Amino acid sequence: MREILIVGGGYAGFYTAWGLEKKLRPDEARVTVVDPRPYMTYQPFLPEVTAGSVEARHAAVSLRRHLRTTRVVAGSVTEIRHADRTVTVRPADGPAYDLSYDTLVVTAGAVTRTFPIPGLAQQAIGLKHVEEAVAIRDRLLTAFDQAASMLPGAERRELLTVTFVGGGFAGVEGFGELLSLATAMLKAYPELSFEELSFHLVEARDRILPEVSDKPGAWVVRSLERRGAHVHLNTQLVSAEGGRVVLSSGEEFDSGLIVWTAGNAANPVVHRHTDLPIDDRGLVQVRADLRVVAGGEPLAHVWAAGDDAAVPDLASPVPGTRTVPNAQHAVRQGKRLAKNILADLRGGKVRDYRHSSLGAIATLGLGQGIFQYKRIVVKGFLAWLMHRGYHVLAVPTWERKVRVLTVWLTAALFGRDLVSLAAVQHPRDAFVTGGEGARSEHAVDGVAAR
């Protein structure tokens, strides 16, 4: 029986495995997915997870539950040696081991791109995984609880200051959702005022949301600023040491929460630990049919898709254009990949991946959104409804669709849940201390302790 090994269980990997197990005959091939997380993260829901509009577990699709005949290996692929048709897997516990394959699918996904900025690694949180989104929400809720018990002053201002670095979709959506949550929470905290909130969005370019055109992007900036936000364009983060944000514009302020969303980088196993052909950006070189190609010739039974693959964009009029790394392409590439692998196994014809954009849509907080398809632009509440409608249809499995809709309907009736569970990140503290020193320096990374 042929062994089909899929490196990565994100969008492209999940949809490839899902498509294969629906069509493969029982004795035709065995599919194995290797990923350190036993679930696929539906990343468009992460901004709403930070705001409590979507439950954290509803943004995660269990691989074991929904891939019923696929073998799921919880571990990280640390090396791909195609010359030996072998990968090295490092589990969370125990020694590393090798897995062999007949057909290889590389869908490892991108990682957060960072820079050697002083204090960044110690202070910032990313927004690529469910755990990060939950931590961001709990830290904001905990900061409100702590600030409400303090007298007005520098420490209170720091707790109520939030900084997002990166003006792409993840940054703008997360920023808008968290701003919406913070503004709504003031009703429950009469000790705090709107003027004490300080939300900063930092972007190195002269505009945000590069996927939309200039005028809609400028409208988003004005919309955020009308809601009290500070948007810093043409500005870079210089330092974040000790929570002190220093910007290239010369502005400085203390920030209790710093979120880094400034772009993606190729997965290290693809960029540095493989003998597969990669380009100068560290992406696997593939043809339009998603076969990995070396020297202009395809490698037999090796495929790649998603954020780590340089997939030609056949829908673009500009020669040499590659598909952008987003959920739309990853999902559809995964579906095409499953069909092409089946066709290849059965001696059929494989087809090129071609997909035109469905447009760009973003949530900017409860009741606020932006949508653009070519010259059609929709703003405000209608765009927000379109965002929710699109993503509840796009999230895989009916089980997840129903769970998300239920949470939305519940929130519409009773509002968002404002309970902070920040202590779950340090579950043994209460047990170890026996209740002594209940004041937690962990809650907001030492802000309270200072």
Q: Strand, coil or helix: what is 146?
A: helix
Q: How far is residue 188's CA from residue 150's CA, in Å, rounded to a whole number?
A: 16
**Quick check: 448 pLDDT over 70?**
no
Sequence-distant (≥ 6) Cβ neighbours of residue 90 within 8 angstroms: 75, 76, 77, 78, 96
pLDDT score for 444: 55
Q: How many residues does the chain have?
A: 450
26 to 2, 14, 22, 23, 30: CA distances (angstroms): 11, 19, 10, 9, 8
Contacts 24+ apart (CB under 8 A), 185-190: 185/141, 185/144, 185/418, 188/418, 189/144, 189/147, 189/148
How many whole angstroms separate alpha carbon 417 and alpha carbon 184?
A: 11
User: What are the pLDDT digits (tens) for 255-298?
Assistant: 999 999 997 888 899 988 999 999 988 899 999 999 999 988 99
Q: What is the pLDDT of residue 335?
A: 95
Residue 34: strand, helix, or coil: strand
pLDDT confidence of residue 242: 94
d(CA 357, CA 258): 32
Return the higher-pLDDT residue of 415 and 189. 189
User: How far is Cα 178 from Cα 46, in angstroms, rounded to an integer?
Assistant: 11
Strand partners, 106: 7, 304
pLDDT in tens, 378-387: 999 999 999 9
pLDDT the model gives residue 450: 47
Amino acid identity, residue 283?
L
pLDDT of residue 412: 82
Reply yes or no on whether the pLDDT at 136 is more than 80. yes
Average pLDDT, the chain: 90
**CA–CA separation, 104 vs 126, rounded Å?**
30
In 149-207, which residue ranges form alpha helices assigned H by DSSP? 154-159, 169-185
CB under 8 Å to 306, separation ≥6 — which residues? 8, 10, 11, 12, 13, 107, 108, 109, 325, 329, 330, 333, 334
Are the CB atoms for 322 and 306 separated by under 8 Å? Answer: no
With a pLDDT cut of 70, the percent of the chain lying above it is: 96
Question: Mean pLDDT over residues 401-425, rounded?
Answer: 80
| pLDDT tens sequence across 296-350 | 899 999 999 999 999 999 988 888 889 988 888 999 999 999 999 999 999 999 9
pLDDT in tens, 154-169: 999 999 999 999 999 9
The arithmetic mean of pLDDT across residues 77-103, rounded, is: 95
pLDDT recorded at residue 443 = 47
CA distance 393 to 160: 35
Residues 11-35 pLDDT 10s: 999 999 999 999 999 889 999 999 9
Cα distance between residue 288 and residue 308, in whole Å: 14
Residue 29 near residue 4 (C-beta atoms within 8 A): yes
* pLDDT, tens digit, 9 for 90 and up, residues 166-189: 999 999 999 999 999 999 999 999
Structure-token pair, residue 55:
């439950």
Rounded to whole angstroms, what are the CA distances from 254 to 123, 151, 269?
Answer: 12, 17, 36
Asked whether residue 1 carries a pLDDT value surpassing 90, the answer given is: no
- Pair of tokens at residue 397: 């499995």
The DSSP result for 53-87, as a single string, is SS-GGGGEEEHHHH-SSSEEEEEEEEEEETTTTEE
Which residue from 404, 382, 108 is spatially nearest to 270, judged by alpha carbons?
108
Structural tokens at position 92: 């969370």
Q: What is the tens place of the pLDDT at every residue in 233-261?
A: 999 999 999 999 999 999 999 999 999 99
Asked if the model's pLDDT at residue 441 lies above 70, the reply is: no
| Crossing angle between the packed helical segments 214-226 and 169-185, to the nearest 10 degrees | 20
> What's the one-letter identity of residue 30?
R
Answer yes or no: is pLDDT of 140 > 60: yes
Q: How far apart are CA 53 and CA 99, in angstroms?
A: 40
pLDDT in tens, 95-115: 999 999 999 999 998 888 889
Residue 346: both structure tokens together? 């059965």
